[in-house]
């Protein structure tokens, strides 16, 4: 059974409520419908109820699969606003929140914030920037996290690591040039993501071109400082470095290069790149030369699971990312 098959099985055992603010988008509605029909999620469509119901009928879908939330329903809107402004550390007041809720994405995130939904899923009609900004304003960041980032899951044929052919990597998509504090946040978020999605005990390596001082430079100093910060913030997690990539995943190399005890060296299952240049090139190398399947990128760092999919993604990929998101949400409860 492939890793994606295992994730789909987990989703079916505990379907989560996924809210879709791009309800009328044809690809999004189809992916939501397929995921809902097959029992992986409970899809919630947000927007104008009449328009959504007409689209459901025109496209030949069973309307019973969906829950439809009408943004013009003043009673429900008032209910959401009342619950949201009562949350601790809420930055938005009633009038400002009411204005923002004219937008379907922010309406959906308010639903999620007050536990009317478990996941917000968007990214076709809304840009990545739209999703990130709305998520930071409405959902907020997890305690101790300073930046939004992403993680991907690679299934690499022929790779024999501590989790078989699987390796989690980040950030390869969002944070361009993180400082030490942000890099620590990325590592912490990545550990939490793999625990919720895969039930792994994360062993997280922060990598660069040096292993424990074998090289010198500002980039190395940044990675070493990030490891120190991450360990101070989350001593419960196994986050170590700085390591070169081979010392992180190869036990033979680790025994030669790492001259101290480490829970991570030689057996890392989570790899954290020093910046986006390295991360983007690395994932392309893994895909092109390693012929790997790469799932993601998955946004991380928000208080709750928020997803941004690729606009060019086919329905099958969107559906897969919806299911992955639902499993993450279930795992974080």
Of 250, 255, 205, 245, the C-alpha closest to 226 is 205
Please state the rounded mean pLDDT for residues 134-144: 92
Please state the rounded mean pLDDT for residues 80-88: 95
Say if residue 19's pLDDT is above 90.
Answer: yes
pLDDT grade, residue 66 (50/70/90)? very high
pLDDT of residue 253: 97
Q: Do 202 and 238 form a contact (C-beta atoms < 8 A)?
A: yes
| Separation of alpha carbons 234 and 239, rounded Å | 9
Say if residue 143's pLDDT is above 90.
Answer: no
Query: How far apart, in Å, are the Cα atoms of 269 and each of 195, 212, 248?
Result: 11, 19, 9
Cβ neighbours of 116 (radius 10 Å): 18
pLDDT grade, residue 317 (50/70/90)? confident
- Range of lowest pLDDT (35-49, 92-106, 282-296): 282-296
Say if residue 236's pLDDT is above 90.
Answer: yes
| Separation of alpha carbons 147 and 181, rounded Å | 9
Residue 2: CA atoms inside 13 Å, Cβ hemisphere, count?
Answer: 13
| Separation of alpha carbons 270 and 189, rounded Å | 11
pLDDT of residue 1: 65
**Residues sharing a CB contact under 8 Å with residue 98, sequence separation 6 or more, in sequence order:** 77, 81
Note if the bond before 297 is cis, omega within 30 degrees: yes
The sign of the CA dihedral 196, 324, 16, 190 is: positive
Count of residues in the chain: 333
Cβ neighbours of 144 (radius 10 Å): 14
> Which DSSP state fits 180?
H
pLDDT grade, residue 146 (50/70/90)? confident
Please state the rounded mean pLDDT for residues 119-124: 95
DSSP H/E element including 285? helix 276-290
**What mean pLDDT is reported for the chain?**
94
The packing angle between helices 180-198 and 3-13, to 10°, is: 70
Give phi and psi for 225, each to the nearest 5. -65, -35
Do β-strands 293-300 and 16-20 pair in parallel, antiparallel, or remain unpaired?
Answer: unpaired
| Separation of alpha carbons 18 and 117, rounded Å | 6
| Separation of alpha carbons 181 and 164, rounded Å | 31
- Range of lowest pLDDT (40-44, 68-72, 100-104, 329-333): 329-333
Say if residue 250's pLDDT is above 80.
Answer: yes
| Separation of alpha carbons 283 and 292, rounded Å | 9
Say if residue 132's pLDDT is above 90.
Answer: yes
pLDDT digits (tens, 9 = 90+) for 189-230: 999 999 988 889 999 999 999 999 999 999 999 999 999 999
Domains of the chain (ranges, CATH numbers): 3-140+302-332 (3.40.50.10950), 149-294 (3.40.50.10750)
Note if the bond before 242 is cis, omega within 30 degrees: yes
Q: Do 41 and 15 form a contact (C-beta atoms < 8 A)?
A: yes
pLDDT digits (tens, 9 = 90+) for 269-316: 999 999 999 999 998 999 899 998 888 788 999 999 999 987 777 898
| Separation of alpha carbons 102 and 79, rounded Å | 15
Residues of the chain above pLDDT 90, percent: 83
């Amino acid at each position: 059974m492939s890793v994606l098959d295992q994730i789909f099985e987990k989703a079916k055992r505990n379907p989560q409520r996924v809210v879709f603010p791009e309800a009328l988008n044809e690809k999004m509605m189809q992916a939501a419908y397929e995921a809902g029909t097959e029992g992986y999620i409970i899809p919630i469509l947000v927007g104008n109820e009449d328009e959504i119901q007409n689209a459901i009928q025109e496209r030949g879908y069973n309307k019973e699969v969906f829950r439809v939330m009408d943004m013009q329903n003043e009673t429900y809107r008032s209910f959401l606003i009342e619950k949201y402004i009562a949350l601790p550390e809420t930055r938005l007041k009633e009038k400002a929140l009411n204005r923002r809720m004219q937008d379907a994405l922010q309406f959906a995130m308010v639903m999620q914030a007050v536990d009317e939904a478990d996941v917000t899923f968007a990214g076709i009609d809304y840009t990545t920037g739209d999703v990130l900004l709305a998520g930071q304003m409405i959902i907020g960041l997890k305690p101790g996290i300073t930046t939004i980032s992403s993680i991907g899951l690679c299934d690499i044929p022929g790779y024999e690591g501590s989790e078989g052919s699987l390796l989690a990597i980040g950030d390869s998509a969002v944070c361009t040039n993180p400082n030490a504090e942000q890099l620590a946040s990325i590592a912490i978020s990545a550990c939490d993501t793999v625990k919720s999605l895969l039930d792994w005990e994360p062993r997280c390596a922060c990598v660069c071109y040096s292993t424990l001082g074998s090289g010198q430079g500002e980039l190395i100093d940044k990675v070493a400082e990030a490891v120190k910060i991450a360990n101070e913030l989350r001593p419960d997690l196994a986050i170590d470095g700085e390591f070169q990539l081979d010392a992180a995943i190869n036990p033979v190399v680790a025994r030669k290069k790492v001259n101290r005890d480490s829970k991570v060296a030689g057996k890392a299952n989570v790899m954290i790149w020093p910046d986006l240049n390295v991360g983007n090139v690395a994932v392309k190398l893994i895909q092109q030369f390693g012929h790997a399947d790469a799932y993601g990128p998955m946004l991380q760092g928000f208080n709750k699971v928020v997803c941004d999919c690729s606009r060019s993604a086919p329905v099958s990929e969107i559906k897969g990312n919806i299911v992955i998101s639902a499993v993450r949400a279930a795992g974080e409860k």
